[in-house]
Chains A and B, each alone.
Chain A
Amino acid sequence: MPNRSSLPPTDATVGEVQQWLTDGHCSARQLIDGYLDYLQRVGRELNAVVEIFVDEAHLAADESDQRRSSGQSLGPLDGIPFTAKMNITTQLGSSDASSPMLRGFKAKEDATAVGRLRAAGAVLVGKTSCDEFAMGASNETSCHGVVSNPWNRDRVPGGSSGGSAALAGSHGWSFHLGSDTGGSIRQPAAFCNATAIKPTWGRVSRRGLIAFGSSLDQICPIARDAVDCQTVLQVMEGYDPLDSTSLKLTPSPLVPATLEPIRRVALITDGLGAGIDASIATAVRAAAQKMANQGIEIIERSLPHLEAANACYQVISTAEASSNLARYDGVHVGVRAESDQLQELYETSRHAGFGSEVRRRILLGTFVLSAGYRDAYYTRALAVRDLIRQGIDQVLEDCDALLLPVSPFAPFRIGERIDDPLALYACDILTVTANLAGVPALALPCDFDEDQLPIGMQLMGAHGSDHRLLEFGQRWQRWNDLHRALPEGSAR
């Protein structure tokens, strides 16, 4: 066991831990040992972590200590532990997207984002559970079992990045890589009292992210606070020749040269009405008032087509998923059901390898693209998506960011919604808009409800305003301590 008196406080952020290392209170090796210990105990209890890389993490930590002692530290992430979601490829361990289809899949390369973080000295300590192929909002469709919410272990941690959020919400020192296609980093962050950003589409390379909906997917950091999210994003972001849709970070309309502070925020009133828990609407209104007390100008606005956004998302995300998941055929990779007929081999392998939620989505996606229905569904959804993007642009002409809740309801009980897919899809109604429009969205702790369950809020900004949002998030987190709170018992 490491000498715990030399380790940082459990709630310490990455920034604080880096200072702790610099000041010589502990070594990276001690820090990593302490974090591995936490993963082995609490991470396993929550079922958040699937694989832990003890030997490789020790080696990387020792290298970090050698760099530090010779004055060659690689910067703010050197020696800091991190995990990657199971749908993000890593050379270490397996990358199965929590699907039986890919059980045991070994990637040849790190995802570009993972590679950049490791090159900056961050130490990959494990892989986290998620919903199968990132399709879910409760982390109940993972082939690795249900993950518990650290704030109440009978509740879901949210999804699909439930494992990442359960860790980020219960312990400091570290950051975690998840992904967001329709809210998959923000909703778990809200459910577990963590901070996370879904970057502008294209800001972070998708190379190595096992594809779900390519025009919506982004790799995202989730951590204790907005400072840490910004530090991680700065290392990951930027053009990658292996993802031709990644953005060059040279000044352009999508990458502003200067970052004006956010001064005027639009409270989206459609996100506070019918279908939204009263406690959540009240908490977000109160947050807007706290911002106003700090000199932020708050206006109220309606967001056009908010209701149609979920329908639009269902069509586009499943259409893209049906195409992306066509590669799992029982021949090239993954599960194979034996048959002497090729067509039957495809069909039975895909039946054996995909869970029921994934199959439902492939079916819908195939339907909306099929002859006779394509124009009525897929093409219409593309047009509505364009109108949704225009609607956001319109509201942003008048303000710097949009404020709305993340989830319409509090973390629900394990098992409560899993048999009703539409009840699960309702989790996404306030988050999908950012993915459809491609804009960044930052999830921040907002309050706790009467059951001591976390409530999250999100800020959406214009394309490329990621760091403006993060700077605002840092101000918000100087005005209150909500993000410092840890669940009782998590720090044993």
Chain B
Amino acid sequence: MPIVNPSPRQPIVIIMSSNKKYLLNQYKTSQYLNLSPPNLLQLFNSCKVFLATTNKLSPLERQSILELYFYLSILTNHDIEAKSTLQKLKESLPLTSKSEKLAVLESYYLEAIGSTNTSSSTSQEKKDAKQVSSSKKQETILKELEEYLTQVQTLIVNDENKSRAMSLTSQQAGPLSRMTTNDLRTIVKRKVALHKSFSSIDTYVNQLIDFLQVNTMDPFTWNELGQTYHKLGELTKAHSCFMEIAVLQPLNYKNWLQLADLEVELFYSGDLVAFNVLNDSILHYLRAVELCEVLVDAWIGLVVALKLIPVSEMEKSGVNSKLKPLEDLKGKYDQLLKLAAKKVNKFVELGLVTDDKKLNSVKAVLDDTK
């Protein structure tokens, strides 16, 4: 389930607009996941008004905005709205068809309300439920949600295989043409994601690895695995995951930033050769700022990494860079440090560094640079 994570990197002012293009863009890019709770609520209200007042929408647009409204309802704890939206989405499909997407949405709803049979539970059952330990309750919810998703998978697969078997014109043949529950990757992915909230972190990592063995070109899952390894303190493994994203999405500047941040951490942990890892982090910060000038954190990271790099020690021990002789780099590092410090100063003046703790650290680093 998407979780609202008010990141300090999010834009401060969000101009609300209830027009179609804005909402469709929110749906397409999932930018709403980075909004702060008040902004999220505002978006929810504007989406509600839009759906209530606008009739001229194509079926696809309507479905997209309804889906966005569903997610917003879940994120802002509007269960009733979420349920009614889910019902509307169901009604927009033919009665006989089973949809992977709808099953996934339903599972979000069930996860949000905490159980698949909450609505039917009596006060006595609720009292009993309170007595059950929270971990057991989580296990039950996970089991129920998995069972529900498996049920839908089985139904879709049975229907599909039946129609394929009866087909007179289908050109598919052989065991490869028979659908299995594992083929429904959207549901499989959702099942994996469930483990994030309801299982141990090790189980979650194993599930992610299993998923990536098939969907090896899914950058979102690589990112999730990288973040999870990072939480576990497995920095080298997290680094490999972020490198996979770099190959899959070379223009993803946020990934370059998190890769560089991780390399600074690796430098502190002493897992890799100090100079190489810091030099790599500088290169990756530079790539991030080259792709996005206003990536404040990348400029700050660049200042820190350039200050940390032990050039004089390297000179003494005769270690060289992978790309250029150390002599050449030394001059560049000085120039880059000045440039990065100037940029960070400008961002601080413009008020783009919002987090107080970070602002203090940045000021300390900048003072040190002077």
* B is bound to A: no
Chain A positions near chain B (C-beta within 8 angstroms): none
Chain B positions near chain A (C-beta within 8 angstroms): none
